[in-house]
């Protein structure tokens, strides 16, 4: 390869990367600038940047009866699911990674196999159970409890825990520490990087969840942010995009901030959690 | 634990007592070794039994009945399934998902592979920044906010997609109002959301391949394109199978996007109506609970068949080329 063509190839590579990145980032920018435009400007569609910058759309969003409450509901549900899920998945991953017992491989294969069952198969009967047996409709529990110990999280934590040397655990046992104590005092601290990665993944999934909250939270006072956003949609041609975009910015902003803070952990978590094994 | 059962009842001497004490010690150790791990993994199995296994059985039970959430469920045998075989809207939704799969998966797989190779090569700088930017939409994947943002972006008049085309001198496109364009729009939307995720998976697979292999090929005179097709792609086959399997489940399970991306749920003339959207509407709008349960079983069966077919088609030659991370 000559020097010239090498330069051309490199230029082409950077152009491709820049084009793909622009495609990825543009909708975020579009959402933000649309949220800062008055309604007529959104529909004129003539200027990309707002001609008259305004925060009015955000105050309109908060004047929606349930907006502030929905932020709290979303946060409460996502935070509790994340905490509970991290604890139970770490526990399960530890059981599978660091102990030998009869039936272990079979049980673990079963855990993985459960990933193949799509949610759509159980959504209706589960809703009926929630309503008639548990009386959990319009409570946060159906969004926190059923998948607190899930196959993905257990698999994810097990992968990480396989790399913990047995010697550390045995040292704890020799010192007379009980098994729960070893888990809490030795295993959990060692797994902190994996817990952070999994925590971000679980939090994002819970915060963004839509189908299941839509089914089990019929009353507006219990809605999460995605449900409030959805309720703003009008019949074709009558959707208040200004308020909708402001609400979208509010529901995305926490994730963008978290992403920028923890993106290394998230990226390494996804790369580690999906391929190995 | 046969050594507990069948102990002789007669009085025993000290030797036997010692042996029993030893047995008890072994038993305690066993509890320690078996009891704790079983306790640790138990929450998953308890929750799964209550919140998934039972509903799966319940769903099968429902699929043989006629029920509208109130009153008794009436046994109808296989009638739901029989009606379903001729339900053109349901099969249309399966076909829509299959079409979406064909639009989305080849583009996604190739792009994710190429991007992963670029971001794995030593010649590209600022890899971390490109990776972050391309992966960013993951945080909005499948969300209500993203669906509405794209709805506005692709709006025939107000949207910036057509504005951009106008700038390039291309006439406006009915992104959300035409049968085929709406499918392409949905495919693009899903690609936007999931490309970065798939790229990361493939990047992880690439990093597990020893660089000596490509180095050796390069020494033997192979160019980068040849190395890509002859070494990288075959070695990544398990990862590609994994990504495509996820995409089968993903494209057939779309719900938020077809419901909210279009001015009308399911798009123009049901062009992007998906099975899960169909199941949801049948249940909660038409209150045909038994019928929707039958739907979900056919839908599940089709996904399983597709995933297995794909697995055997693509991964048969893996035996010689296993890469482990």
List all residues of chain B from 269 to 308 with a beta carbon under 8 Å from chain A: 275-276, 279-280, 283-284, 289, 292-293, 296-297, 299-300, 303-304, 307
DSSP state of B139: G
Which of B232, B45, B256, B37 shows the shortest CA–CA distance to B144? B256
Predicted pLDDT of residue A164: 92
Q: How many CB pairs under 8 A join A and B?
A: 269
Q: Range of B102's domain?
A: 84-320
Our count of domains for chain B comes to: 2
Predicted pLDDT of residue B238: 86
Whether residue B188 sits in one domain with residue B50? no
Confidence band for B12, pLDDT divided at 50, 70 and 90: low
Tokens of B114: 């190429």
Whether residue B59 sits in one domain with residue B95? no
DSSP state of B118: H
Judging contacts by C-beta atoms under 8 Å, the chain A residues touching residue B139 are 204, 208, 252, 255-256, 258-259
Predicted pLDDT of residue B22: 67
Q: Quote the minimal CA–CA distance from A122 to chain B in Å.
A: 6
Whether residue B162 sits in one domain with residue B50? no
Whether residue B32 sits in one domain with residue B176? no
Whether residue B91 sits in one domain with residue B58? no
Predicted pLDDT of residue B311: 82
Q: What phi and psi, each to the nearest 5 degrees, are found at residue B65?
A: -135, 165
Of B135, B148, B253, the CB nearest to A244: B148
Q: Quote the minimal CA–CA distance from A106 to chain B in Å.
A: 13
Whether residue B89 sits in one domain with residue B30? no
Instruction: Report the C-alpha gap between A26 and B206 in whole angstroms.
Output: 28
Q: What is the pLDDT of residues A171-209, one digit of tens each?
A: 998 988 899 999 999 999 999 999 999 999 999 999 999
Domain ranges of chain A: 66-231
Asked, for residue B1, whether it belongs to a domain, the answer is: no
Q: What is the pLDDT of residues B94-153, one digit of tens each?
A: 999 999 999 999 999 999 999 999 999 888 889 999 999 999 999 999 999 999 999 999
CB contact under 8 A, B47 and A230: no
Higher pLDDT, B314 or B87: B87
CB contact under 8 A, A267 and B131: yes
Whether residue B295 sits in one domain with residue B148? yes
Predicted pLDDT of residue B11: 56
Cβ–Cβ under 8 Å, residues B245 and B311: yes
Instruction: Report the C-alpha gap between A17 and B131 in whole angstroms.
Output: 9
Asked, for residue B68, whether it belongs to a domain, the answer is: no
Of B59, B208, B242, the CB nearest to A121: B59
**Residue of chain B nearest A125, judged by CA positions:** B55
Asked, for residue B271, whether it belongs to a domain, the answer is: yes
Predicted pLDDT of residue A268: 87
Predicted pLDDT of residue A235: 85
B53 in contact with chain A, both atoms CB, cutoff 8 A: no
Whether residue B137 sits in one domain with residue B229? yes
B324 in contact with chain A, both atoms CB, cutoff 8 A: yes
Of B124, B192, B205, the CB nearest to A24: B192
Q: Which of A181-190, B27-36, B51-60 has the lowest mean pLDDT?
A: B27-36
Cα A74 from chain centre? 12
Average pLDDT of the residues of chain B: 88
Asked, for residue B79, whether it belongs to a domain, the answer is: no
Residue B60's Cβ-count burial label (10 Å; 0-12, 13-18, 19+) is middle
Predicted pLDDT of residue B15: 67
Predicted pLDDT of residue B5: 41
CB contact under 8 A, A252 and B275: no
pTM for the whole structure = 0.90
Whether residue B116 sits in one domain with residue B51? no
CB contact under 8 A, A88 and B58: no
Mutate to test the interface with B, among A118, A132, A241 (most CBs of B within 10 A): A118
Mutate to test the interface with A, among B113, B145, B194, B228 (most CBs of A within 10 A): B145
Whether residue B295 sits in one domain with residue B176? yes
Whether residue B219 sits in one domain with residue B116? yes
Confidence band for B9, pLDDT divided at 50, 70 and 90: very low
Judging contacts by C-beta atoms under 8 Å, the chain B residues touching residue A229 are 144-145, 148
Intervals of chain A under pLDDT 50: 1, 276-277
Asked, for residue B108, whether it belongs to a domain, the answer is: yes
Predicted pLDDT of residue B3: 38
Confidence band for B325, pLDDT divided at 50, 70 and 90: very low
Predicted pLDDT of residue B4: 40
Q: Tell whether the model's pLDDT for residue B323 goes beyond 80.
A: no
For residue B200, the domain's CATH number is: 1.10.3720.10
Predicted pLDDT of residue B7: 44
Assembly ipTM: 0.93
| DSSP state string for B19-75 | HHHHHHHHHHHHIIIIIHHHHHHHHHHHHHIIIIIHHHHHHHHHHTEE--SSSPPEE
Cα A257 from chain centre? 13
Domain end marker among B31, B63, B95: B63
CB contact under 8 A, A99 and B118: no
Q: What phi and psi, each to the nearest 5 degrees, are found at residue B228?
A: -60, -50
Instruction: Classify domain A66-231 at the CATH class level.
Output: mainly alpha
Geometric angle at alpha carbon A13, from A9 and A15, rounded to 5°? 115
The CA dihedral of A226, A228, A230, A231, to the nearest 10 degrees, is 160
CB contact under 8 A, B44 and A42: no
Higher pLDDT, B288 or B225: B288
Predicted pLDDT of residue A253: 96
Whether residue B122 sits in one domain with residue B57? no
């Amino acid at each position: 390869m000559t020097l010239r063509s090498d330069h051309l190839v490199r230029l082409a590579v950077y152009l491709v990367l820049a084009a793909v990145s622009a495609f990825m980032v543009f909708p975020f920018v579009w959402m933000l600038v649309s949220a800062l435009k008055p309604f007529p400007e959104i529909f004129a569609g003539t200027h990309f940047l707002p001609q008259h910058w305004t925060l009015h759309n955000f105050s309109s969003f908060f004047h929606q009866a349930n907006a502030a409450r929905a932020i709290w509901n979303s946060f409460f549900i996502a935070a509790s699911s994340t905490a509970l899920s991290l604890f139970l998945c770490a526990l399960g991953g530890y059981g599978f990674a660091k102990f030998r017992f009869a039936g272990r491989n079979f049980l673990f294969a079963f855990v993985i196999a459960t990933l193949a069952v799509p949610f759509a198969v159980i959504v209706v009967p589960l809703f009926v159970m929630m309503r008639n047996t548990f009386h959990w409709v319009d409570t946060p529990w159906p969004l926190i409890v059923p998948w607190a110990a899930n196959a993905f999280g257990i698999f994810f934590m097990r992968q990480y825990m396989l790399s913990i040397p047995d010697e550390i655990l045995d040292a704890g046992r020799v010192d007379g520490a009980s098994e729960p104590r070893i888990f809490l005092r030795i295993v959990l601290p060692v797994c902190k990087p994996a817990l952070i990665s999994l925590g971000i993944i679980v939090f994002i999934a819970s915060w963004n969840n839509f189908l299941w909250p839509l089914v089990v939270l019929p009353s507006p006072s219990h809605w999460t942010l995605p449900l409030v956003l959805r309720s703003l949609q009008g019949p074709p041609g009558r959707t208040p995009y200004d308020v909708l975009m402001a609400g979208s910015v509010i529901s995305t902003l926490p994730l963008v901030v978290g992403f920028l803070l923890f993106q290394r952990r998230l990226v390494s978590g996804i790369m580690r959690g999906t391929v190995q094994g | 634990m046969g050594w507990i059962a069948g102990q002789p009842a007669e009085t025993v001497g000290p030797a036997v007592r010692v042996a029993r004490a030893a047995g008890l010690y072994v038993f305690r150790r066993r509890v320690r070794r078996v009891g704790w791990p079983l306790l640790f993994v138990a929450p998953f199995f308890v929750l799964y039994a209550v919140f998934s296994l039972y509903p799966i059985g319940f769903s099968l039970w429902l699929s043989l009945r006629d029920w509208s959430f109130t009153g008794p469920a009436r046994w109808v045998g296989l009638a739901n399934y029989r009606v379903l075989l001729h339900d053109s809207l349901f099969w249309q939704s399966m076909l829509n998902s299959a079409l979406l799969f064909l639009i989305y998966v080849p583009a996604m797989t190739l792009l994710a592979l190429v991007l992963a190779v670029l971001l794995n090569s030593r010649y590209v700088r600022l890899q971390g920044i490109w990776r972050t930017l391309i992966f960013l939409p993951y945080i909005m994947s499948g969300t209500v906010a993203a669906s509405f943002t794209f709805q506005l972006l692709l709006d025939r008049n107000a949207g910036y997609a057509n504005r951009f085309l106008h700038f390039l001198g291309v006439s406006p496109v009915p992104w959300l109002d035409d049968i085929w364009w709406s499918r392409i729009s949905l495919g693009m939307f899903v690609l936007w959301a999931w490309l970065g995720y798939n790229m990361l998976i493939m990047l992880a697979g690439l990093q597990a391949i020893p660089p000596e292999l490509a180095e050796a090929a390069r020494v033997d005179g192979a160019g980068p394109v040849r190395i890509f097709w002859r070494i990288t792609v075959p070695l990544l086959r398990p990862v590609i199978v994994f990504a495509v399997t996820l995409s089968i489940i993903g494209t057939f399970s779309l719900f938020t996007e077809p419901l909210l991306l279009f001015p009308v749920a399911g798009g123009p003339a049901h062009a992007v109506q998906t099975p899960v959207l169909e199941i949801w509407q049948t249940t909660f709008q038409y209150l045909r609970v038994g019928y929707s349960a039958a739907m979900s079983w056919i839908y599940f069966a089709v996904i399983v068949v597709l995933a297995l077919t794909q697995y055997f088609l693509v991964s048969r030659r893996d035996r010689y080329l296993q890469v482990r991370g």
